Amino acid sequence: MDYIDGAGPVRRGEDLDRVRLEAYLKENLPGLGGEMRVSQFPGGHSNLTYLIALGEREFVLRRPPHGRKAKTAHDMGREYRVLKALRPQFPYCPEALCYCEDEGVLGAPFFVMERLKGVILRKDLPPGLHLTEAQAERLCGRLAEVLAELHRVDWTRDGLRDLGRPEGYVRRQVEGWTRRYEQARTPDAPDLGDVTRWLAERMPPESPVVSVIHNDYRFDNVVLDPADPLRIIGILDWEMATVGDPLMDLGGGLAYWVDRDDPPEMQAIRLVPTNIPGMMRRREFVDRYASLMGIAVERIDFYYVFGLFRLAVIAQQIYNRYYHGETADERFKTLIFAVHILGQAARRTMEQSDL
């Protein structure tokens, strides 16, 4: 059975200028020949990701979405530089091949990287792929191991040191995402002032551990070996990578982690198959990560609530583009419901927390 993640037709309104793109690629990537073929990967709600085939070679192209964007989001040059700098220490990064800032080619900056052919777990397992309970648990353990490997990378190396400022990182994140929510809020969006106040009042002290953090670490950004789906061969989507408190990375990933006994509304917005038998629950994943890192994770409620809130903001930012008619992608229409549900999940955690 072929479980390899594939691309499909390009969505309406998201096509590329194929003549200009083909000319650019043949000029900047030596040895290319043949007719260019373009398809689009279905996942993701942020940057647009395409499969480009030229002759026998395949590449992945990433470019920003159309319409209004958050001021600091979708920086193609930054993501390209992250991949270049991080790959020597963290081989799970795809190889970045070229970056184009000339908007005359596609109307926006973009970069091209190698294609990592493999299995990607989206909302449900690919048809025909079955994981026993023991296999599902081992896969979760491997996910924790790779996250710990990333957080042990030497962030002081050239090219990584300038990714961000670790001092005051948590405060800047809480304040920054609070502003972004208010800027992207539409009339049908919930008031999350109680959530942002709770976060502002319970920020942890400066972390003694500083790490490179992915900031969107979840199963559908992980590439698995088709011959052994328990082996991770790549990590994708480094758009938000920075340097800071590694527990913010953990909390951000937990926001996507829907346990099998979570409420029906959380099941409805689930994006990855963390609810299948054998998958670790959030608390088990936290404990495994803490053991691997040799640290205590005592304020996980803060990091989880922040992760839920940040995910709500991201959904709201994308929904804002749909609300204002800046994208015709029908997937975005229902994101407003996710914003409400994530806010409710944050409140449930706040009510149960002893922080």
Q: Please state the domain extents for the chain.
A: 18-114, 133-352
Paired with 48 in beta bridges are 63
Nearest to 163 by CA among 70, 69, 81, 250: 81
Give the residues across from 223 on adjacent strands.
Answer: 234
> Rounded to 5 degrees, what are φ and ψ at 241?
-60, 145
Query: Residue 78 pLDDT more than 50?
Result: yes
Which has the higher per-residue pLDDT, 66 or 257? 257
Average pLDDT over residues 306-326: 95
CA–CA separation, 287 vs 214, rounded Å?
19
Q: Which two tokens stand for residue 301?
A: 């409620």
Does the structural domain 133-352 have CATH classification 3.40.50.1820? Answer: no
User: How far is residue 302's CA from residue 325's CA, in Å, rounded to a whole number?
Assistant: 35
Q: Return the SS3 of 107.
A: coil
Q: What is residue 3's predicted lDDT score, i.e. its pLDDT?
A: 80
- Give the mean model confidence (pLDDT) for residues 242-253: 98
pLDDT per residue as tens digits for the range 158-192: 889 889 999 999 999 999 999 999 999 999 999 99
The tokens describing 204, both together, are 């942890």
- The sign one gets for the Cα dihedral 296, 300, 303, 307 is positive
CA distance 133 to 279: 7
Average pLDDT over residues 54-67: 89
Average pLDDT over residues 137-144: 98
Return the CATH number of the domain spanning residue range 18-114. Answer: 3.30.200.20
Average pLDDT value for the chain: 94
Which of 122, 129, 125, 123 has its CA nearest to residue 2?
Answer: 129
Greater confidence, 45 or 6? 6
Report the predicted TM-score, pTM, of the whole model to 2 decimal places: 0.93
Q: 75 near 99, Cβ under 8 Å?
A: no
- What is the reported pLDDT for 82? 95
Mean pLDDT, range 123-149, rounded to an integer = 96
Nearest CA to 279 out of 185, 73, 141, 179 is that of: 141
- Chain-centroid distance, C-alpha 136: 21
Cβ atoms of 266 and 258 within 8 Å: the answer is yes
